[in-house]
Amino acid sequence: MLLRSIEIYGFRCFTETVKLDLSSELTLIVGPVGVGKSTILNAIELALYGATYETNIEKSAKLDDYINNISNHFRIALDFVVDGVEYRVERKKLKDKSLKSILYKERQKIASTTSQVNRIISEELLKISLENFVRYILIRHRSLETLAYGSPLRRTIILDKMLGIDAFRRIAASIPVKKIDEVKNNIAFKMKQIERDISYLNKNEIIQKIKLYEHKINELKENINKLNEEEKDILGKISEIDKKIIEISSIYGKIKEKERLKEKLIKKLENLSGRKHQLEADLKALGQSKEEIIEEAIYQLESIKAELSGFLADLLLGDELEKIEKITISLDNVDEVIKTFRKAYFSIENKSSYLQSELSKLIRQKSKLEAIKDSKQAQLSDVISEIEFLESSEKEFSHILAKIGDIENAKKNLKKIENELSIIDNILKEDDCRIALIRKILGQLKSKDRIKCPICCKDILQNEKEHLEQHLNEIIKSKSELFIKREKLLAEMEEYKQLLNKYEELSEKINRLEELRLLKSSIESEIDAIEERINELDKEIEELEYKLNDLRNFLSGFRRRLSKIEDKLSYLSKYDEISKIEREIETLKEQLDKLDLELKEVNIETIVSERVRLINEKKSLNKRLIEIKRLRNKYLEEINYYTKEISSAKKKLGLIAELEKEYSKLSEKYSKISELAERFSRIKEAYIKAQDVIRNESITKIINTINSIFEKIYVHPDVIEINLKAVEAEKKGRYKYMFYVKRSDGAVIPSIQFLSDGQKILFAFSLVFALNKISPHSADFIIFDDPLPNIDEELKKSLGKLLGSREFSKQVIITTQSENYAKYLEEIAKEHGLSCKTYELAHSKGGSILLAGTFK
């Protein structure tokens, strides 16, 4: 894989879109601390893996942390080539949203999800994990320091992961030999438990117990059958006794019924005699003859007829009036006359009720109108209050209208001011950029006679400095004048906005005022109409109440007078009632004589004694039935107990069978587990041996490659060879790598910890180069983030020559703070015929900017 170009936006310090051509064999990125050199490398890393070492391995950052404060997202596009085929990967991240990824092959989309893109690049195209990518492809200073200054154990862990030995170790560690032994021991323990449980349950004893209980159940069932037969016989006898008792009770009941009838007849005879004496006394006390009673009743009815006719005529009850006037009152039709009068009375009463309901309706109607009137008056009061409040706004509206004139012209003036402000703001921004650029150029001219213009790349000489300073002062003066004009326009714009807002606010109030004035007039008209209707209702209510009062007085007198007439007429019926009572007394005496003869023919004492004997016999039989039920329930409880015991015993037999079955399964499983444990032990031993073979082969390759590289970059003669061997660690089966250094004087340094800082870094550099060379991957590029800050200039130059020799990668990308070292690397590239491109990064207001390349 070779990189072609990268495009970055919104990523950390890059607030504008930045594009870098990475297709050269050597790409240099130069700039001071914090200007964004490492950010570009992070962008390459994120484009390839959808993550960085910080987010996925260290967990010290989140993807959202890469979005700068000015942008709400970042976007990275990386072009690269694999075996002559062009690819492009695009990554985009919005705040608080998931990462979006697309992969193109020859401009055709082949993957559109982050997981698909990550898998294709890391597994199929690059063929290297993110963890190893940051160890020997994208080499940061911290990675070199980990190898140079880290402990032997830490260095061993890193090397094992790089060489793939760690995978064998983890596989061997994951083989669960101990776990299988634990399972095997658990099975053996369970088998012993089952043996103890089967022995404790005692199968033979349970079988004997079941047979004994079944025999007892059969005996109890025979006893229950005998009790059932006895119960059947007793129930038959009780049925016969009940029949005899019913017959005797029937005879006894008839006698008692005749005795009760006799008592009733005697009581009725006494009542009739008393009633006869009472009627005779009432007639004597009245002191009027039958003819006098009739004459007075007819006179009173004629008087009532006259009054009734008058009210019926007033109430317009024509049918009832016609019936009353047709009546001729006599003794023969008194009852019919009273009945007709009552019907007329009820008609008048109904009419009175109707008039009362009409009165209630009128009163309710009046109350409703008064409530509506009160509501309307309250509404009118609210409307008047609101009108008084809004009338003050009417004056203010007229004042504003006089100021702004036509509203549309006022809005156009406001828009014009806003446009002028926008133009001034753009000019001020341009002035800021020109001032920053001129000041930067003037700062560089203080130390140099000639510099290149960062925009057009033309030379700027020292004698142009005065012209630049004069131009700078003119820009600053122009900026001050524009700023004053801007402040005036802002004040004018603010005043216009306030007036327009007030105009819109008061327009609504004026419209509301007109509506309220119309509403006030409407409500006043409604109140006048309601008051007129209330006066009409008062007159109607007064007339109706007067009429109802007359009706109530008449109806009350009518009831009293008619009751008196009926009371007098009731005395006429008493004469007929006395004759009727005398006939009933004769009939009752005859019935009593007949009952006395029938009762003398029956002996009631014999019947009672026979009935008592039968009842006592039935009680004895019922007691025996209760005893039979008690015994049967007792036998059933015993049967239930023995049945439960048998069921429990059978469950135990079932449990024994299950235990025997489980024991058989566990025995079979124990044999298989034992065989599996032996097989796993052999496999684990094979993986451990494979680690040793790979480790020994890798050590030989690493030592040869490290020494080959170290000789080329370490120009001093004091160290001639680096050696390495694996030493068994304290923990059984684990190793650690120990490096040894051989000096030119023959002395052996037993650990690289005794080397200088520069020697340690070069050792780490050689080790990374060696791993890059011998490890399988498809990356034809290598990236250094500000390498080797702690070594002397000669070693840096030798490293540069090594990078220019094309011995390792077709592409090299280096970031550095040193402009001199960048120039030296440019010369090396030129000497070896390598294509080279240098980018300079600089700080700018709101972010970093990328200046043009200096050498090709």
**Residue from 699, 691, 712, 690 nearest 795 by CA:** 712
Angle, CA 636 vertex, CA 632 and CA 638 arms, to 5° = 120
Q: All domains of the chain, ordered by start, with CATH?
A: 1-137+781-856 (3.40.50.300), 370-600 (no CATH)
CA atoms within 13 A on the CB side of 208: 4
Q: Name the one residue in this structure whose structure tokens are 């700080």.
A: 843
**Burial class for 335, CB neighbours closer than 10 Å (0-12, 13-18, 19+):** exposed
| Pairwise CA distance, residues 358 & 332, whole Å | 41
Residue tagged 């402040």 (tokens): 487
Q: Angle at the Cα of 615 (from 611 to 619), degrees rounded to 5?
A: 170
The Cα 444–Cα 264 span in angstroms is 146
Per-residue model confidence (pLDDT) at position 23: 92
**Two tokens at 571?**
């005395």
Structure tokens of 25? 């064999």
Question: Looking at residue 712, what is its pLDDT?
Answer: 67
The structure tokens listed for 14 are 């890059």
What pTM value is reported for the model? 0.42
Handedness of CA 534, 537, 539, 541 (dihedral sign): negative
- Nearest-angstrom CA–CA distance, 319 and 331: 25
How far apart CA 840 and CA 851 sit, in angstroms, is 5
Strand bridging mode 450-452 / 138-140: unpaired
Any idea what DSSP says for residue 96?
Answer: T
- Contact at 8 Å (CB) between 369 and 537? yes
Q: Which two tokens stand for residue 376?
A: 């309307």
Mean pLDDT split into 10-residue runs, the chain, 856 residues: 94 89 91 88 95 85 88 94 95 93 95 94 91 82 64 66 62 67 82 82 82 86 88 87 83 79 83 79 68 69 72 69 73 73 77 81 87 87 82 73 72 82 86 83 80 77 81 85 85 78 76 82 87 85 80 75 71 72 82 78 74 84 87 88 87 84 84 76 68 69 70 66 65 62 68 63 72 80 75 60 63 87 83 87 74 51
Structural tokens at position 572: 């006429």
Tokens 């094979």 locate to 686
- Is residue 124 within 8 Å of 136, Cβ to Cβ? no
Of 128, 183, 123, whose CA–CA distance to 161 is shortest? 128
Q: Give me the half-sphere count of Cα atoms (radius 13 Å) on the Cβ side of residue 504.
A: 8
Predicted pLDDT at 856:
39
What is the distance between the alpha carbons of residues 772 and 770, in angstroms, rounded to a whole number? Answer: 5
Residue 748 makes CB contacts below 8 A (sequence gap 6+) with 740, 741, 742
3-state secondary structure of 749: strand
Closest of 348, 826, 822, 304 to residue 565, by C-alpha: 304
Q: Phi-psi bin for 107: left (phi > 0), alpha (psi -120 to 50), beta?
A: left
